[in-house]
């Protein structure tokens, strides 16, 4: 599976493989439901969290973000993660009562990374990079790095001097410990699962549509 590229519909997101873009109002409804589904899934994944440090918890959100780009494509992936961020901040300032975010204020840079990562992955999937698991894994790795970049920059800015002193380390050391140290193994597993699942689903969709014809 990892070395074979699926040629059919290689430049489409999974959603556009399921339903073509010439269905008018049906496309609008399906797009809306798909976007809302990924917003809900991202928020739901935030509810199941494990804290190994006080700032950034372990969740399943990264997997959802990787899948959002590949399933929805660039524009809808951007919209879904942006809507998630807006709803999350609405809760943060007291407009919503249901928490869409995981972690403290220090973890919010990762949410910005979610938006950029889903957009980048969606773009490359629409350029035909989504059907070969090795190529897709490379794109998803870029997405992971984007998420970490925004998350670590945010941490670096907003970690306080008192937190650094109480942990007896440097700002860089605390940023790495809280933002990277506990996450790279889990995120690698999520990446491998997503990069293997998307081409498998694409092949399944192709098979079903071929048999229907």
Neighbour tally for 61: CB within 10 Å: 26
Query: Could you tell me the mean pLDDT of each successive run of 10 residues in the chain, 213 residues long?
Result: 47 84 84 95 90 88 96 96 89 60 81 97 93 95 97 94 91 92 90 95 85 68
How many C-beta neighbours within 10 Å does residue 2 have?
A: 11
Read off the pTM: 0.88
Range list of H helices, the chain: 14-18, 25-45, 61-72, 74-92, 109-124, 133-158, 161-166, 171-176, 184-212
Residues 5, 192 contacting (CB under 8 angstroms): no
pLDDT, residue 2, reads 45
| Pairwise CA distance, residues 172 & 49, whole Å | 24
How far apart, in whole angstroms, are the C-alpha atoms of residue 135 and residue 141?
10
Structure tokens at 128: 């035909």
Q: Quick one: pLDDT at residue 182?
A: 79
Distance CA 39, CA 139 (A): 22
Domains annotated on the chain, with CATH: 14-212 (1.10.1760.20)
Sign of CA dihedral 182, 90, 99, 67: negative
CA pseudo-torsion sign 45, 171, 158, 119: negative
Q: CA nearest 147: which of 168, 177, 173, 116?
A: 116
Specify the pLDDT at position 10. 65
Return the pLDDT at 199. 92
């Amino acid at each position: 599976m990892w070395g074979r590229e699926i040629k059919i519909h290689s430049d489409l997101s999974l959603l556009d493989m399921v339903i073509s873009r010439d269905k008018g109002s049906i496309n609008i409804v399906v797009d809306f439901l798909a976007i809302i589904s990924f917003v809900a899934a991202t928020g739901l994944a935030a509810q199941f969290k494990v804290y190994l440090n006080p700032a950034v918890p372990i969740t399943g959100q990264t997997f959802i973000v990787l899948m959002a780009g590949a399933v929805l494509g660039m524009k809808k992936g951007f919209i879904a993660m942006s809507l998630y961020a807006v709803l999350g901040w609405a809760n943060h300032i007291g407009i919503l009562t249901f928490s869409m975010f995981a972690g403290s204020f220090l973890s919010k840079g990762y949410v910005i990374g979610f938006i950029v990562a889903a957009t980048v992955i969606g773009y490359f999937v629409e350029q035909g990079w989504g059907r070969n698991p090795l190529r897709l894994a490379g794109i998803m790795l870029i997405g992971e790095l984007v998420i970490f970049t925004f998350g670590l920059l945010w941490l670096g800015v907003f970690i306080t001097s008192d937190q650094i002193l109480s942990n007896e380390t440097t700002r860089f050391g605390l940023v790495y410990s809280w933002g990277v140290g506990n996450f790279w193994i889990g995120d690698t597993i999520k990446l491998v699962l997503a990069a293997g699942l998307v081409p498998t689903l694409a092949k399944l969709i192709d098979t079903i549509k071929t048999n229907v014809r």
